[in-house]
Amino acid sequence: MLNFGNKILILIFIVFFLILFYFKSDRETFQYNDQILKLFNEKQYKFIAHAGGGIDQHTYTNSLEAVNLSISNGFKLIEIDLRESKDKHFVGVNSWQKYKKDNLFEKDDINDEPLYLKEFKKIKIFNKYTPLTVNEINKIFTENNDLILVTDKTNNFRKINSDFSFDKKRIIVEIFGKKNYFKSIKLGIINPMFAANSNDYDFIIKNNIKLITAHSKDIIKNEKIYKNLINRGVKIFAYSSSNKKFIEENLDNTFSGIYTDFWDFKNNNCTSKECKTY
């Protein structure tokens, strides 16, 4: 008969192998959506409208008007920063602190505390633009079935799958952290985009990751690494630039696509007074 110590030891081994199987099975069986990866070869799917896209020289508005302008300008990839309101609804906000500062809250009220949905909906961004809730996002992407939503800021993967009513194959979720990457796959995210830097090269190759995002400064500094990833079939989206020279020199060379605030597809140029890489 096994004594108590041996039973504990066996239990530890069982738990260890279950955990090992859990992660190993995810890494071996996950397959990227080939249709999405192929779309990135088309020009209009190489540019992501950053935080809804720029409007009237404003960035990071995540507003209805910015998204509509980006769509009319030909963007097919629309990024929206997702935060949860105090009563747990997704809304388009880069950070609550920035949102409150931009919208002239009292100094003592400028913090990262979320607003209730009802409060959020009453505020016009910069006294002009309409804030985005999950209802508006669903409407936009249901009516425009060639658009792809790129999300940022949230790790609530279950909520992404439950709250968005259009085809989940048209949602790309930016993932921060290696554990979150595997967690997102386990929870049914179809298009995880791993937020990487040059130190993650071996991790990307080992786990056959095909979709990543990286900061423009890291790409410039480690050009050879990102070229190697491109050559291995990894799709890389750099953030962020509206600078024509930077984009033309690096697109399809050190990165596959770019987050941009102001871009004119017809004239292949920046539409802002300040066309910077940051």
d(CA 236, CA 264): 21
Dihedral sign from CA coordinates of 98, 100, 104, 105: negative
Say whether pLDDT at 11 is over 80. no
User: What local confidence, expressed as pLDDT, does residue 25 receive?
Assistant: 46
Tell me the two tokens of residue 148: 């792809």
Paired tokens of 15: 């738990």
Higher pLDDT: 26 or 235? It is: 235
What are the tens digits of pLDDT across the range 218-258?
999 999 999 999 999 999 999 999 999 999 999 999 999 99
- Given a cut of 70, whether residue 27 has pLDDT beyond it is no
Tell me: pLDDT of 145 over 70: yes
pTM above 0.95, yes or no: no
**105 Cβ contact list (under 8 Å, min separation 6):** none
Cβ partners under 8 Å of residue 144, min gap 6: 71
Instruction: Give the bridge partners for 47, in sequence order.
Output: 258
> Which regions of the chain does DSSP assign to beta strands (E)?
47-49, 77-84, 90-92, 148-152, 171-175, 191-195, 211-215, 235-239, 257-260
Cβ atoms of 134 and 104 within 8 Å: the answer is no
CA 146 from chain centre, in angstroms, equals 18
Q: CA-CA distances (angstroms) from residue 128 to 102, 125, 205?
A: 12, 6, 46
Percent of the chain exceeding pLDDT 90 equals 88
Q: For 44-100, how does the pLDDT look when each residue is reduced to its tens digit (9 = 90+)?
A: 999 999 999 999 999 999 999 999 999 999 999 999 999 999 999 999 999 999 999
List Cβ neighbours of 48 (8 Å cut-off, separation of 6 or more). Answer: 75, 77, 78, 79, 150, 237, 257, 258, 259, 260
**Confidence band for 10, pLDDT divided at 50, 70 and 90:** low
Indicate left, alpha or beta for 126 from its phi (over 0: left) and psi (-120 to 50: alpha): left
pLDDT at 122: 97
pLDDT at 17: 55
Regarding predicted confidence, which is higher, 85 or 22?
A: 85
State phi, psi for 211 to the nearest 5 degrees: -140, 115
Is the pLDDT score of 2 beyond 60?
no
CA distance 261 to 88: 28
Of residues 261, 267, 204, 195, the one with CA closest to residue 231: 204
Local confidence band at 101 (pLDDT 50, 70, 90 cut-offs):
very high
Mean pLDDT of 3-24: 57
CB 99 within 8 A of CB 111: no
Taking the C-alpha atoms of residue 121 and residue 115, their distance in angstroms, rounded to an integer, is: 10
Give SS3 for 269: strand
